[in-house]
Structure 1
Amino acid sequence: MPTYSTSLLIATYNWAEALELVFKSIAAQTRVVDEILIADDGSDHRTRSLIDAFRRSTDIPVKHFWHEDHGFRKTIIMNEALASANGDYIIQIDGDIILQSSFIEDHLNEAKKGFYIKGSRSMLSESRTRSILQSKNVQIHPLTEGVGSKINATRFPFLSFLFRGDKLRSNNLRGCNFSFWKKDFMRVNGYNNDLEGWGHEDIELAARLTNLGIKQRQLKMKAVCFHLYHKINARNNEDLNYKNYQRVVESGITTCKNGIKQI
């Protein structure tokens, strides 16, 4: 059992039906976290009502952080949530990610000082997603039709070591299956609030962690998650955000000015 405290961070926006399934998969975990932080980028009352109901159903403290919907401002609300995190170790997911029952246990068993974890995900097809939303069954078999990337969908910890990579790398991180030490997050000043609009806030953060000397621990066949299908978000600022990422890689900087603290 870990001797440190843990927080689960969930980023969400206006999809209460998906978030309900996330909550169901959290309730089925083999290991619990010390608190749940919900970073809500401006959802309507349906999400708040769902979170209130979930809070009443669990013994885990649930904190809901919300700001008004003024476009995609995910980094700002995630920084606000993480500033209040009591956990030494943070596991981050999105509000459309269903967790295999050992997801949290696997992240905690693989946590190591000097590393962040990049997990993998299995993408669900539109028809499989529709079926799961209707049935509300979060027990997903990796061989079921509509479950993508069978390796990513399969938990087989005895073979996981064959795929594990511990490298200084940032360009492949996905924030939907990501864990890190809060101390490291604070050292790089958290997410960059200047990155507005969809895209690359995760790899930009990972680049600053890499520049600090924090390695990526890549997992497969452990910490399994399933990504519900949805239409692609508007990506108006993607190129600008990616250029910011490239600048961080090329310059070697470790902190951003407009982050969890304004420098």
Structure 2
Amino acid sequence: MEKKITVSVVMATYNGERNIIEQLDSLKNQTKVIDEVIICDDGSTDRTVEMIQEYIALNHLNNWTMKINKVNKGWRQNFMDLLNEASSEYIFPCDQDDIWYDDKIEKMSTMMSKNPKIAVLVSNYTEIIEEGGHSSKLQPLKTQLNSLYHQIIFVRENVMLKRPGCVYAVRKDFVLNVTDYFNQALNSAHDISLWASALAFDRLYLLDEPTIVFRRHGQSTFKKETITSKKESKYQYRINMLNRYNERLNSLNQYIARENGIENKQKKEEIIKRMMKINTNRANLLEKRSVIKIIFSFGKYGKPFDYFADIYHVFKLRLGKD
């Protein structure tokens, strides 16, 4: 007799009344019944909580739970706590404002059940761009085809986060690894921790098709954080972003060195160190604000695009357009 696949969906909410019903509908209408839905609100001041509670009661969703944090945790900690609380074999993080395709859970959970090597599975997405939103172009991934399954391999192009948290699924027995990464990394988040830990263990895979409509608008908590960080000049933001990338890379490097069971540690550490060196050189060159110094530093760049982009931004700064 074939083993039953159990799935949980965990959703962190905060002031999401504008789009929450569409998301809830897309969960309720999944072709595979969800065994457990846990929704945790982080102190909304709008009608998010009431709308969810009414939806659960109206649709008799006895396996859905609505919780309210006594104090605001922030979306990062809220999601991590939910991942640890969920009890099913496969866990799906869910944002409050997207629309899932009806067969998302069925396709992703089936794929994971057929390949025990998969600890974290990500998919592609399509977009809705709303007022104030900007496109988040689907980034290409380098994969290796292993028995019809696309493994995301540990190469420079894949090291940094390439998919938002709303297209993930994780095995329950891998959540501890994800939590270990989150707890030791600086300014991490659930998607960064899922991506980095699974990539380090060579257990990150791709379902190469869209499973959600990813809503892009100017009201999300992450979007507001980004706007706040960009209050510095665009030029300084560029330098600060390179330094933040190095913080993430250093966290991944420490995780690989510390964890047992990770293969090819030396090769992975060398890739990370090379990326960090490039970022440090770029940040130092940008700090000098010299076009000439960048022009004669082509060999210090990993990608031609970054080389020409940095020249362009220094020109803009020198012309007073930043």
Q: Is TM-score (shorter-chain normalized) higher than 0.5?
A: yes
For residues 123 and 37 of structure 1, the distance between their equivalents in structure 2, rounded to whole angstroms, comes to: 25
Output the TM-score relative to the length of structure 1. Answer: 0.71
Partner secondary structure for residue 20 of structure 2: helix
Match of 1:138 in 2: none
1:46 alignment partner AA: R
Q: Is the 8 A contact 1:174 1:202 kept in 2?
A: yes
> What aligned pairs does 1:26-105 form with structure 2 within 5 A after superposition?
26-44=27-45, 46-56=47-57, 57-67=59-69, 70=72, 73-105=74-106
DSSP 3-state at the match of 2:94: strand
2:217 corresponds to which residue? 230
For residue 205 of structure 1, report the CA deviation from its aligned partner.
3.5
Q: Report the equivalent of 1:247.
A: 250
Instruction: Give the 3 Å change call, closer, same or farther, for CA 15–226 of structure 1 in structure 2.
Output: same
In the alignment, the residues of structure 2 paired with residue 254 and residue 184 of structure 1 have an alpha-carbon distance, to the nearest angstrom, of: 16
Query: Residues 47 and 4 of structure 1: is their aligned pair in 2 closer, same or farther, counting only changes over 3 Å?
Result: same
Stretch deviating more after TM superposition (100-109 or 54-63): 54-63
Identity across aligned pairs (percent)? 19
Q: Distance in 2 between matches of 1:214 and 1:60?
A: 37
Greater Rg, structure 1 or structure 2? 2
> In structure 2, what residue type is equivalent to 1:247?
N
1:117-154 deviations in Å (ceiling 9; x for gaps): 11111110227x9xxxxxxxxxxxxxxxxx9989xxxx
C-alpha separation in 1, matches of 2:75 and 2:6: 24
Task: Name the counterpart of 2:235.
Answer: none
- Gap change, CA 1:190 and 1:35, over 3 Å in 2: farther
Structure 2 residue 14 is the aligned partner of structure 1 residue 13: yes
Equivalent residue in structure 1 for 2:198, among 201, 209, 214: 209
**5+ residue gaps, structure 1:** 130-146, 151-160, 256-263
* In structure 2, distance between residues paired with 1:53 and 1:125: 28
Alpha carbons 1:122, 1:149 under 8 Å: kept = no
Question: Which runs of at least 4 in structure 1 moved beyond 3 Å after TM superposition?
Answer: 147-150, 193-197, 236-244
Q: CA deviation at 1:35?
A: 0.4
Distance 1:122 1:149, change over 3 A: farther
* Structure 1 Cα separation of the partners of residues 117 and 13 of structure 2: 28
Amino acid at match of 1:174: P
Q: Residues 2, 114 of structure 1: CA spacing in aligned structure 2 closer, same or farther, 3 A cutoff?
A: same
State TM-score, norm by structure 2: 0.59
Cα distance in 2 for residues equivalent to 1:242 and 1:148: 18
Q: Is the 8 A contact 1:191 1:201 kept in 2?
A: no
* Structure-2 change in CA distance of 1:76 and 1:61 (3 Å): same
SS in 2 for 1:63: strand
Backbone CA RMSD of aligned residues: 3.6
Structure 1 residue 29: Cα displacement: 1.3
Q: Give the superposition deviation at 1:214.
A: 4.2
Shift of 1:79: 2.5
Tell me, in whole angstroms, the C-alpha distance in 2 between the residues paired with 1:244 and 1:3.
Answer: 41
Q: Deviations over 1:34-84 (max 9, x none)?
A: 0001133332351111121122114351223333565x7222112322332
Q: What's the secondary structure of 2:106's corresponding residue?
A: helix
> CA offset at residue 246 of structure 1?
0.9
Work out the CA distance in 2 between the residues paired with 1:85 and 1:175.
Answer: 16
Match of 2:169 among 144, 162, 179: 179
Whether the 8 Å contact between 1:65 and 1:77 is mirrored in structure 2 is no
* Structure 2 partner of 1:168: 153
Q: 1:37 to 1:96 in 2, by over 3 A?
A: same
Q: What amino acid maps onto 1:81 in structure 2?
A: L
Greater relative CO, 1 or 2 (CA 8 Å, sep 6+):
1
